[in-house]
Amino acid sequence: MQVKDRLQLGLAVLTAKTVTFAVRSLRLGAASVLPGEIARRLQPQLLQLLSRQVKHGVILIAGTNGKTTTSLLLRTMLERQGKRIAHNATGANLENGLMTTLLANTNLVGKLDVDYAILEVDENVVPKVVAAIEPRIILCLNLFRDQLDRYGEVDTISQRWGKAIATLPPDTVVIPNADDPTLSYMGQQLPQKVLFFGLNEPEQYLEEIPHAVDSIYCPNCGHSLDYQGVYLSHLGDFRCPSCGFHKAPVAINSQEHPQILIGLYNKYNTLAAVLAAQQLGVDEATIRDTISNFQAAFGRAEELQINGKHVRILLSKNPVGMNETIRAVNQVRQQSSQLAPVLFVLNDRIPDGTDVSWIWDVDTEKLVDQGGTFIVSGDRVYDMALRLRYSQQEDLQLIVKENLREAIATALEHTPADQTLHILPTYSAMLEVREVLTGRKIL
């Protein structure tokens, strides 16, 4: 490192640590992005200079859904092997958040002391940062329609990912989801070492393709794909009858591995983390024991005991995510003697996406048809109420509460002591729900 870069790095680190101390001392927030934002203005090569100091390399985790859960699972496996990890666990996954995470693990002169960095990265940011970071492993979990006002369509995102990743060194390991046609195609075009994960469990096929699908056309020739079966959204076993493109062979047998938490989507998260852990030399006993004892990240199937009632928070921030949380809730309710209420909290702030029209692509009918009481709240409470009303015109037990505290209190009152209250919030709503329930802020 040149003297000028070293001096700039030292100044940037000192400034970042001062900002972090000030923000936290004044209780202005978690200081998860501001230190990095300021520091990179003092050292424009900050992300590159810090990433290259990680002893055994950076693991980059990208995808629409599952980043936080997969990252936490992989982190736990590595920590149980005695490794020191830098991880943006607060979910700050833009460039300033990545730099803040790495800065937090440096000493006063900018020397980083971790074995691995696990960085959850926003879909749009991946092409901007991979060259600077030069990850050792890249996990590509899935691509679904999400926040169209920010991201655009999934085909565009996958093409940008492919172009950026293709420029990385040949020893980079890429782990894409074989069941996602766009990522399966991207992986088959890359020159690096590519290991696919996916399901081989036909008994998990859906009865029909849901409304929220994005990539059912061949990414190679544009012809409609033939699906042998669909696991969720457009993820499944497919082939193109026109050009022969098909799902890539997987490097891990899904039937041989248990999964974390509830919901089939967490089976995908589990397989991705396991494949990465195997590449990093984690032994099989540690992998399986970590899966068995895994504790959910905040808001991702997180379970709490509140006033003697069992609560499960299932982050639901896009059509596919909410369809899958509804599927998981339905499975739980079908095994219960009574139907516990379900609380929806819909916000439309920047972290959620300001366009909430996506709720009309969610198959809420499958939940409402079961019956029971539904409570709605959030900034767009009446949009959510209208969506549920259109799911069932008659006999819908719907309670509308603009005030979130009142909504939660009402939901808890309607929850029998031996049942689980499921709360389905968008991202900013999830943070608010946790604050109400636990009395503490995450961010």
**Per-residue pLDDT, 148:** 61
β-bridge mates for residue 302, sequence order: 313
Residue type, 65: N
Residue type, 4: K
**Per-residue pLDDT, 214:** 80
Distance between CA atoms of 418 and 421, rounded to whole angstroms? 10
**Per-residue pLDDT, 398:** 96
CB within 8 Å of 341: residues ≥ 6 apart: 372, 373, 374, 375, 411, 414, 415, 421
Q: In 10 A of CB 207, how many CB atoms?
A: 7
Residue type, 13: V
Distance between CA atoms of 320 and 63, rounded to whole angstroms? 13
Instruction: Give SS3 for 336.
Output: coil
Helix (H) / strand (E) element for 226: namely strand 226-232
**Per-residue pLDDT, 27:** 80
Q: What is the pTM of this model?
A: 0.90
Count of CA atoms in the C-beta half-sphere (13 A) of 379:
15
Count of CA atoms in the C-beta half-sphere (13 A) of 378:
27
pLDDT by residue for the chain (443 residues), tens only, comes to 788 888 899 999 999 999 999 988 888 877 889 999 999 999 999 999 999 999 999 999 999 999 999 999 999 999 999 999 999 998 899 999 999 999 999 998 889 999 999 999 999 999 999 999 999 999 999 999 876 666 667 888 999 999 999 999 999 999 999 999 999 999 999 999 999 999 999 999 998 888 778 888 999 999 999 999 999 999 999 999 999 999 999 999 999 999 999 899 999 999 999 999 999 999 999 999 999 999 998 889 999 999 899 999 999 999 999 999 999 999 999 888 788 999 999 999 988 889 999 999 999 998 999 899 999 999 999 999 999 999 987 788 999 999 999 999 999 999 998 899 999 999 999 999 999 999 877 65
**Residue 377 and residue 412 in contact, taking contact as beta carbons nearer than 8 Å:** no
**What angle (nearest 5°) sits at the alpha carbon of residue 86, between those of residues 82 and 91?**
130
Q: In 10 A of CB 108, how many CB atoms?
A: 9
**Residue 36 and residue 95 in contact, taking contact as beta carbons nearer than 8 Å:** yes
In the numeric block, the tokens 């590519």 are attached to 194
Task: Please compute Rg for the chain using Cα positions.
Answer: 22
